[in-house]
Amino acid sequence: MRILVTGARGQLGRACLEVLIAAGFDTVGVDLPDSDLTQQGVADRVLARHRPDRVIHAAAYTAVDRAETERDRALAVNATATALVAAACRDHGCALTYISTDYVFAGDCAEGYLEDAPTDPLNWYGVTKARGEAAVRQAGGSWQIVRTSWLFGHGPANFVRTVYRRLRRCEALNVVADQRGCPTYTLDLAELLKELAAAEGVGIFHGTNSGVCSWYELAQAVAAAGGCDVELIRPCATADYPTAARRPAYSVLRDSRLATLGLAPRPAWRDAVARYVGWLQANEERSEHD
């Protein structure tokens, strides 16, 4: 199986290349500036050149707050480009895996969200990702939508990395304690995407590490894993930390479909945090400039 990964320089794209190549898949990655998938015809040319059996569409606009003012750009990347990629996959007979987000939900369901729950995003980023999902479904063909949340991993800045670095500098942190979700390590998600590709699953799946926590509890786990002073972390309310984009309070993604394909639950989020912080500790000098 040949797999093409879009957004190959991003956090998840890097993890996908690492995991898929290690597993022996014929894998190629594309990203800006060479492959601007928002432009008409680019997705078709990329697929014609590389002839993949599956595309993992990890390319995305993920600046949640900036999306509130950069609405056209966010929509172009997350919805228009996705529609073009989905159509190209259909026309080339290529399977598609689209990476989506917990932010397609409002976060007001106390039980969390199963795969078939109706979407109702609170912010523009969530709107654009929901429209990307709709484009994938409308295009037809063989598709997977894999929703994930609270990503951290090797590459660009993320919450876990930022907290760890600030704690190393003995900086005090106020961290939101009334938003809950499912942290996800990019390497663990990439492993799941590999398994889903091999199983040729079709439909919507939820892929996160196991367990639920608040951002405050996640920060505490980072401190514990890194041997940092947990007393530097103080809980605060969402109302005390205003942002341009509204965040869902309880965007927990519940999984009911992976087991039907024979796939095991993902590792616990605390274990994932410990592994990633261990990687940061082992690669401190490199990660400071990555």
**Rounded-to-5 percentages of helix, strand, coil across the chain:** 45, 20, 35
Kindly provide the residue ranges of all beta strands, DSSP E only, lying in 43-120, ordered along the sequence: 54-57, 95-101
Q: What are phi and psi of 177, to 5 degrees?
A: -110, -5
Distance CA 184, CA 175 (A): 18
Amino acid identity for residue 56 in this structure: I
Whether omega before 118 lies within 30 degrees of 0, making that bond cis, reads: no
User: Residue 48, SS3?
Assistant: helix
- Is 13 exposed, middle or buried, given 0-12, 13-18 or 19+ CB atoms closer than 10 A? buried
Distance CA 57, CA 131 (A): 14
CB 60 within 8 A of CB 11: no
Distance CA 144, CA 133 (A): 10
User: Residue 107, SS3?
Assistant: coil
Is there a catalytic annotation at residue 61? no
- 232-261 burial: b if 16+ Cβ within 10 Å, else e: bbebeeeeeeeeebbbbbbbbbebeebeee
CB 4 within 8 A of CB 46: yes
- Record the tokens describing residue 72, joined without a space: 């056209």
The residue assigned the tokens 């199986």 is 1
User: Active-site residue among 98, 125, 216, 276?
Assistant: 125
- Active site (catalytic) residues: 125
